Amino acid sequence: MSLGRSSSVISLPKNWMQLNELKKGDVVSLALQRDRSLVIFPSAEKRIEPKEITLHVASSEGETLIVRRIISCYLNGYSGIKIASDKIFSVPQRKAIRNIVRMLYMRIMESDSKSMYIQTLIDESKASLEPAIQRMHLISHSMCTDALNSLKSWDTTLAKAVFSLDDDVDHFSFFILRLLRNAAQDSVLQMNLALIQ
């Protein structure tokens, strides 16, 4: 249907409007794809509340399991994670939590002997995949080069330096996975990623 000389009107399916809680007069966004097709997104004004979760940790629970549970929450899009112990955190447990929090670029916002509240610092609406992948590639490439050089010269100091860079690669890997998983469930984030690329 035409609207004036230079525009056309597109009617949207009623079921899709109801599914996205849209009504007459609401704004939708369009994104042009590489194959010249258009994708319609619900209004970017609708903001999803940050997801939070509480992890209950046993005093006997191993550090590796605690770290894996925190990573799982991070990858599943939780912005705030409360970690509560049934007694008090052991020194190794607290150290493991602090280490993984640093790696994931989160911050400990509250802490006492039996609980911690950690929060992500990243604004995913302004995030971009391409720079993260490029940085991950550059670090991995330099690791390979330095690893070969350390083998040629039997330089143990260089070998240890290469090993320490693995955490940086892990950080970008976790960030990219989180971003992709969240974008699969959030059309606004999908649109932002499509526009940023």
Q: Where are the domains of the chain?
A: 2-41, 51-120, 124-196
Other beta carbons less than 10 A from residue 118's beta carbon = 25
User: Distance (Å, rounded) from C-alpha 84 to C-alpha 70?
Assistant: 12
Whole-number pLDDT of residue 189: 59
For position 195, what pLDDT does the model report?
Answer: 47
Q: How many CA atoms lie within 13 A of 144 on its CB side?
A: 5
Structure confidence at residue 67 (pLDDT): 94
Determine how β-strand 29-32 pairs with β-strand 78-85: unpaired
Q: What is the mean pLDDT of each run of 10 residues along the chain (197 residues)?
A: 64 79 76 74 60 90 93 89 92 92 88 91 71 85 89 86 82 83 67 52
Domain 51-120 classification at class level: alpha beta
In whole angstroms, what is the distance from residue 3 CA to residue 8 CA? 5
For 95: left if phi > 0, alpha if psi spans -120 to 50, otherwise beta; the answer is alpha
Q: For the chain, give the mean pLDDT.
A: 81
Q: Give the pLDDT confidence score for residue 155 in this predicted structure.
A: 86
pLDDT at res. 83: 94
pTM comes to 0.64
Q: What local confidence, expressed as pLDDT, does residue 47 receive?
A: 52
